[in-house]
Amino acid sequence: MEDTAKEPSTFRPVTHVIFDLDGLLLNTEIFYTEVLDDLCGKYGKKFTWELKHQMMGRKERDSAQFAIDALGLPISVDEYIAHVREELNRLLPTSRFMPGAEKLVKHLYEHGVTMAIATGSDSFTFRKKTTNHGDFLQMFTHYVLSGDDPQVRNGKPFPDIFLVCASRFPTKVNPEDILVFEDALNGVKAAVAAGMQVVAVPDERADLSEFSDATLILKSLLDFRPEAFGLPAFGS
């Protein structure tokens, strides 16, 4: 599953990298599906892939309101979030790396590539997800959590999170010199709106035609070749 519409020769060399977190670096999306399947089932509603696809990448409260409106759930945003957080508190600390994530980040770090994380998570869920990945986090200069970062006024698909993340790199960097990795369509749209190249690694259920704005579409991070974007090749 790779986008062949764009040839590697059209890719711009980059100096900095921004990663999404959920479903891209960590397998936490499966936990959100499990929890929301249960919550929606309590009210006789079905949490579908189509709904999840539209929610991915949004801020926590935006995502909650979207689900409530779409399904007509008879609960408030605060009640929705309270239920989800209670269940995620149990599940998120068991998160594991997505295929190729640890290898790629470690490779880039060892070759001096500056990296950051930009996620729709808030501080609470971010801590839970990364409970057992403290050493991994040390390889990033910073992480932007749009769920409770006051400078990120609008969540994905707006570009705010990536522009804020770029502004916090230790040295000034232009958007065109940044490569974003995303699994969600909203995240791809946000990166493109920010003027950055973006590698999409969608869920296998996704309609790839919706990701046509991505610079490159891959089945897995295992398939990424850093040298295509001017980054150090594996084995170098």
What class is the 8-27+96-227 domain? alpha beta
Of 41, 84, 42, the C-alpha closest to 63 is 84
As a whole number, mean pLDDT of residues 162-184 equals 97
Residue 1 is predicted with a pLDDT of 46
What global pTM score does this model have?
A: 0.86
Please, which residues have CB within 8 angstroms of residue 107's CB and are 6 or more apart in sequence? Answer: 226, 232, 234
pLDDT higher than 70, residue 169 = yes
Supply the pLDDT for residue 56: 80
List the domain boundaries for the chain.
Answer: 8-27+96-227, 29-94
Average confidence (pLDDT) over 51-75? 89
User: Where does the pLDDT of residue 58 fall: very low under 50, low under 70, confident under 90, or very high at 90 and above?
Assistant: confident
Report pLDDT digits (tens) over 175-225: 999 999 999 999 999 999 999 999 999 988 888 999 999 999 999 999 999
Average pLDDT over residues 73-87: 93
Same fold? 8-27+96-227, 29-94: no
Nearest to 199 by CA among 213, 215, 222: 215
- Tokens 């994905």 belong to which residue? 156
Please state, in angstroms and rounded to a whole number, the distance separating the CA atoms of residues 45 and 67.
11
Confirm or reject CATH 1.10.150.240 for domain 29-94, answering yes or no.
yes
The DSSP secondary-structure symbol of 56 reads T
Q: What is the pLDDT of residue 54?
A: 87
Q: Report the mean per-residue pLDDT for the chain.
A: 92
Percent of the chain predicted with pLDDT > 70? 96
Summarize pLDDT for 9-39 with one digit per residue, the tens.
689 999 999 999 999 999 998 998 899 999 9
Which residues are marked as active site?
20, 22
